Structure 1
Amino acid sequence: MKIRLNQNIKYLFLAVPLLFATSCKKDFLNTAPDTSLPIEDAFSTPDRILSQVNGIYAGVKSGQFYGGRYLIYNDIRGEDFIVNKPNGVTGLDTWRFNVTSGTNEVVNLWGNIYTAVNRANLVIEGVNANASLLTPALAKQYVAEAKFLRAFCYYGLLQLYAKPYITDNGASLGVPLRLKGEKDLTGNDLKRSTVAEVYAQILKDLNEAEPDLALTLTATRASRNTAIAFKTRVYLSMNNLLAVVTEANKIVTATAPFSATTGAPLKLEASIANVFGGAYTGNATATEVALTFPMADLDAPGTQNQLAYYYNVSTNGAGGNEEYFLNPTGIFANAAFAAASTDARKGLTTVSGSNTYLTKFKKPSPYTDYVPVIRYAEVLLNLAEATVVTDPVRSIALLNAVRQRSNPGYVFPAADLLPANLKNTILAERRIELLGEGFRSPDIMRLGLGFPAKSGTQGTAPAIPFNTAGYIWPISSTEIQNNKLIVQN
């Protein structure tokens, strides 16, 4: 892989904290490149080491990766959104399953993720080489954060550029595992590891990171419970339900009200309105937030990258561009989700013209909504799915906790909770609760399903059966050009 850092390869950016747009407090992740340093000087002081750790987070929350595009691509590949403005710049080819190895989103996402991976690798090496400048605990914490973020990046790559684990227990080709910092072009040629090998490295990083991460931190940084919560997502993607339960039990009590009793005090917020409109527009204090990526006026993801730009309406000061609206025959049509008067999550939608739009993300230009990364609601639903067979009573209790937070009086029909139907009921709840947060495509793939056909006034997209042409993205053309050992899918 050719180095894709936006700097001379002999230099690293020194990231300098900026201020919250709405607060006088400094935030760890509201950073922007200020000056470049020779690589030999980048870890020469504690402040410079911290700045390099900042730089990994900044790379991961790039608008071309988790600052917006990654979540958007994974949702619009599914059937819950319809394209409203057929613009190739804003994901039309992704929506209609027409990408090639040279399509912008394929090339840009790949490059941005690997740039973040390289930053993590350089920090791991740089901190280990200069650990004497830090306290032992802080040195371990920084390395742990870098390993968590590296695992996070590789998980993201697998969700688009590789066949799901369920295909053949991970025997298919995944992506190149780059675990050394690249300072020149000598490491370009590297073959693809299998999906199973990449997942093994993800779990190795997370398991090594967990004990060394800070027990509690602001939700804009990875703490111990962040790694645990993320492992429930990873293991669910591998269909390792026993491991999902093992990890979730560390941060989910046996009975309601569910919470984490050690580390970051995670629990569901009393109202979904406390999550969207609060935690993701200017603070990270919601108890539900296991990890969020903050944005600020001088640290925004870019106009055509951010979630509010894609999904929100252009009227009433919302400033969205109405790129994609909710499919009237998708999860929006679910009977249990039908009435705003009974489900508060319907209040996170609005009608403009003849279409309904998602309004979870509200901030107008420069689009500084915080980006949801891991919420406790997801962890509860991961655990609910994993316990359908082994502990259906607990599974139903977890499902009810999520549903009744937004719809307190709702009682699931008895048929929905029967053993044969319970998993599908939970999967439907995931689509409602996590709508617009980047889960639909990974869920379709991990379950071995096909992508349904979809259509609207601005175009159509064909059905893509499981494991057929177009099901996953091709490897980036830039990687193919610069890596002699890469092979296509």
Structure 2
Amino acid sequence: MKKNKFIYAVIAGLLFTSCGKDYLNLNPESTINPEQLGSSPAATLGTLKGVYATLRSATTTGYAGHEDFGHKGVLSFVDLMGNDVIMDNLGWGGFNYNYTGRVMTNSRSHFPWFTYYTQIKNVNTIINNVDPATDDAQLKAIRGQAIALRGYFHFMLARIYGPTFVGHEEALSVPINAKTLSSKRNTVAEVYTQIESDLKEGVEALAGYKRPNKEMIDQSVAQAFLADVYLEMGKYKEAAEMAKVARTGYVLLDKAGWQNGFYDINQAETMWGADLNAELTTFVASFFSIFDNTNTGYAEGGNISIDKRLYDAMSETDVRKEMFLGADGGTYEGTDFSPYISLKFRDLTSDRVSGDYLYLRSATMYYIEAEALARSGNEQGARDVLFEITNKRDASYVKSTKSGTDLINEIILQKRIELWGEGFAWFDLKRLGQGVLRDYNGTNHPTYGRFNIPTGDNKFLFMIPQAEVDANPDILPNNPQ
């Protein structure tokens, strides 16, 4: 095998080898040859639906066991690497929680790599075969989704395997798979140039597109991706503008909505997710199995908790605090739970195994907008945006009068509270140049998770997986262990 063909070969095998959970079995209409792409909207849509299906399916990469339930799995387990989410007993996700999973020989370093490069290859089959100037509105929207997803998948890879953008533009990131597939690691600047280009093209192509469901992305989701990228790149004016337009039209959850388990893709704030049902459920290899302490699965009886510092930082009138048990623990639905257990994520479907996956909520955009406004000199605007969302969570919240670093810290604190367990905190630790601090006086992190990692430590980089290095030595140097 030629060195620069390894990623193609692996993902081609995943795409075209039949197995019980293979998306081709779920969407047989997507089994088409490249000549059909670009001329048949139905056939091309089948390929795109296959991408979305694989993003929420279990054990499709062949790595990470029951942690492999697609995009939600990646988001969930990187959040275990921060300060705020605790595993009371080591189980699935434990290799991330204790930082042993990032090394090149561990399957957890393989899992995100093959999750996203597989789907980059698949969306490229659409992008490369559909004319960007097509007059067919459906094909244009399909291609727009594909190119926005390609940008977002590269963004996920860059944040996991590469350093942050600002100050590291010439450092090595990940290979780009766009017009051509690089056998070598591209620089951070090159990767983010490709990401920004793809997302801008996706935003433009998706103008006016009305999606049939929230499993598919529309212009607002592409704008949300781009807002997050701009924040990472330090383009704060653009980040604020894009976040505001992305959230327009979405209604913030009321108390009942916020406390309803985050299991329904149709709730008001959901921008993008996966619509699961009894036929599509992946049972124990699923998000709720590992993060829903109230249900049957790996977390049954209580295994996922909140860091006590973050719990204590919430006001007593904050509706979000009610979804975590305090220092004395408590009882829920007849089960006694230990201190600081989370009740935030609960699959409340009738069979308790069909909860949807929520990948992105409009609430996220308020914090991107507020931080970007604060960093670009509009502190009053930042305070206004922060108040708009925080007042919905805490009726007693008083609009901030802080400025400078204190204001930004307040925004980040509220973001950590709001998005706890949703896949943002670890990426922010990297971006903000903050370390992991779990070994403190009174910590409720268990012994195996009780350590500190300083800012800029190599542990904030996943190593490129062994399987890639073995087949493609050109990709070296690897990230340090």
Q: TM-score surpassing 0.5?
A: yes
**Alignment partner, residue 65 of structure 2:** none
C-alpha displacement at 1:379, in angstroms? Answer: 0.7
The whole-number CA distance in structure 2 between the counterparts of 1:348 and 1:318 is: 19
The whole-number CA distance in structure 1 between the counterparts of 2:437 and 2:202 is: 38
Unaligned runs of 5+ in 2: 1-5, 59-67, 331-335
Residue identity matched to 2:31: L
Q: Cα 1:480–1:303, aligned 2, differ >3 Å: closer, same or farther? A: same
**Alignment partner, residue 273 of structure 1:** 256
**Alignment partner, residue 86 of structure 2:** 82
Residue identity matched to 1:297: A
**Alignment partner, residue 255 of structure 1:** none
Q: Is the 2:30–2:44 contact (alpha carbons within 8 Å) kept by the matching residues of 1?
A: no
TM-score, structure 1 length as denominator? 0.81
Q: Is the 1:297–1:366 contact (alpha carbons within 8 Å) kept by the matching residues of 2?
A: no
Q: In structure 2, the residue corresponding to 1:473 is in which secondary structure?
A: coil
C-alpha displacement at 1:422, in angstroms? Answer: 0.7
Residue identity matched to 1:421: D
Q: Which of 333, 336, 344 is the matching residue for 2:319? A: 344
**Alignment partner, residue 156 of structure 2:** 156
Q: Which of 76, 79, 85 is the matching residue for 1:72? A: 76
Q: Is the 1:73–1:94 contact (alpha carbons within 8 Å) kept by the matching residues of 2?
A: yes
CA RMSD of aligned residues (A): 3.1
> How do 1:32-181 residues align onto structure 2 when only pairs under 5 Å count?
32-34=26-28, 37=31, 39-40=33-34, 43=37, 45-63=40-58, 64=68, 66-87=70-91, 90-99=92-101, 100-128=103-131, 136-166=136-166, 168-179=167-178
Q: Is the 1:95–1:461 contact (alpha carbons within 8 Å) kept by the matching residues of 2?
A: no
1:436-471: CA deviations, max 9, x gaps?
Answer: 100110000011111223463452342111222322
Q: Which structure ranks higher in relative contact order (CA pairs < 8 Å, sequence separation ≥ 6)?
A: 1
Q: Cα 1:442–1:65, aligned 2, differ >3 Å: closer, same or farther? A: farther
- The number of residues matched between the two structures is 442
Say which structure is richer in strand: 1
Q: Is the 1:231–1:244 contact (alpha carbons within 8 Å) kept by the matching residues of 2?
A: yes
Q: In structure 2, the residue corresponding to 1:344 is in which secondary structure?
A: coil
C-alpha displacement at 1:234, in angstroms? Answer: 1.0
C-alpha displacement at 1:202, in angstroms? Answer: 0.9
Q: Cα 1:94–1:40, aligned 2, differ >3 Å: closer, same or farther? A: same
C-alpha displacement at 1:115, in angstroms? Answer: 0.8
1:94-145: CA deviations, max 9, x gaps?
Answer: 111123112121112211211111111112123349x98xx52211111110
Q: Which of 193, 199, 202 is the matching residue for 2:192? A: 199
C-alpha displacement at 1:38, in angstroms? Answer: 5.5
Tell me the percent identity: 23
The whole-number CA distance in structure 1 between the counterparts of 2:117 and 2:361 is: 25
**Alignment partner, residue 63 of structure 2:** none
The whole-number CA distance in structure 2 between the counterparts of 1:34 and 1:276 is: 38
Unaligned runs of 5+ in 1: 19-30, 182-186, 253-259
The whole-number CA distance in structure 1 between the counterparts of 2:233 and 2:280 is: 35
TM-score, structure 2 length as denominator? 0.82
Say which structure is richer in helix: 2
Q: Does 1:483 pair with 2:476?
A: no
Q: Is the 2:99–2:459 contact (alpha carbons within 8 Å) kept by the matching residues of 1?
A: yes
Q: Is the 2:148–2:222 contact (alpha carbons within 8 Å) kept by the matching residues of 1?
A: yes
1:129-175: CA deviations, max 9, x gaps?
Answer: 9x98xx52211111110011111111111221111113x24221111
Q: Does 1:311 pair with 2:310?
A: no
Q: Is the 1:151–1:205 contact (alpha carbons within 8 Å) kept by the matching residues of 2?
A: yes
The whole-number CA distance in structure 1 between the counterparts of 2:470 and 2:220 is: 40
**Alignment partner, residue 215 of structure 2:** 220
**Alignment partner, residue 23 of structure 1:** none
1:289-310: CA deviations, max 9, x gaps?
Answer: 222222222223552331x222
**Alignment partner, residue 28 of structure 1:** none
Q: Is the 2:175–2:184 contact (alpha carbons within 8 Å) kept by the matching residues of 1?
A: yes
Q: Cα 1:197–1:6, aligned 2, differ >3 Å: closer, same or farther? A: closer
**Alignment partner, residue 373 of structure 1:** 359
